[in-house]
Amino acid sequence: EVEETLKRIQSHKGVIGTMVVNAEGIPIRTTLDNSTTVQYAGLLHQLTMKAKSTVRDIDPQNDLTFLRIRSKKHEIMVAPDKEYLLIVIQNPCE
């Protein structure tokens, strides 16, 4: 079932890579190569933590649900949770 979900996400149009990272930034499942995964995991984990703390600082009742970073080449989507992080990289333009 875990496989199914990940496969479904990976098969969307323009998706370059998908990865699941644990709360400490250590990758668990990934579709990209190791070095890229590790880099993405480490950097995005820190950024997500920062974003989460920012949101909560402003309003302690609030929480971060989704983080989307749009760059020139593609879009990085991070879905945070208590223990895990789902990172999807998509190329939106045709």
Partner 1 sequence: MISRKRSKFGAPILFSDRNASSVRDSYIECTSYPDKNFTLTQLEQDVGTQVIPEIKGVSTQTKWAFPKNASTQYYPREFSEKEKGKLAQSKELADFLNSVSTSVEIALQQNEIMNTFVDDWKGLAEEEGTFGDKSDTHLKEYQSFTDLHSPMEKMITCIAWHPTIYGLIIVSVAVRLSYEERVHFSGKLLLQPSLILFWSFADPIHPQLMLESPDDIFCFAFCPSDPNIIAGGCINGQIVLWDITAHADRIENIKAGGGRSKKATLKPMFLLEPESNKEAMYIRHCAVSSIESGHKKVITDIHWLSDTFEINRMGSVFENRNGICCQLVTCSADCTICFWDIRPQKTAITQPTEKKKEETIEIPFDVPPTFLHLDLSWKPLSKIRLSKGETSLDHCPTKLSLNEEHVIFKTQDKMLGQDKAVKSTETNPYHDLEAGMSNILKPIDDFCTKFFVGTEEGEVIYTDWKMERDPETGRFVSKKPVNLYTVHDGAIHTVQRSPFYKDIVLTIGGWNVAIWKEDVMTGPLLQTCCAPKRYTSGHWSLTRPGVFYIGREDGYIDIWDLLEKTHEPAQSQNICITMITYIKPWTYSPKQQFIAIADYYGTLHILEIPWTLSHPSLNELSSVHYYFEREVKHLEYVQQRRIIRDQEKKEMERELERKKAKVYIKTKEQMEAELRMEYENYLELEKSVLYSLGLGKVSEKTSYMDVL
Site of interaction with partner 1 (CB under 8 A) = 1-2, 5-6, 8-9, 12-15, 20, 22, 24-29, 38, 41-42, 65-66, 68, 70, 75, 77, 79, 81, 83-84, 86, 88, 90, 92-93
State the minimum distance, in angstroms, from the CB of residue 89 to partner 1.
Answer: 11
What is the rounded distance in angstroms from the CA atom of residue 31 to the CA atom of residue 20?
Answer: 9
Answer yes or no: are the C-beta atoms of 30 and 20 closer than 8 Å. Answer: yes
State the Cα angle at 44 between 31 and 94, rounded to 5°. Answer: 55
**Residue 58 or 66: which CB sits closer to partner 1?**
66
**Residue 56 or 70: which CB sits closer to partner 1?**
70
What is the rounded distance in angstroms from the CA atom of residue 42 to the CA atom of residue 24?
Answer: 9
Answer yes or no: are the C-beta atoms of 36 and 52 closer than 8 Å. Answer: no
State the minimum distance, in angstroms, from the CB of residue 51 to partner 1.
Answer: 15
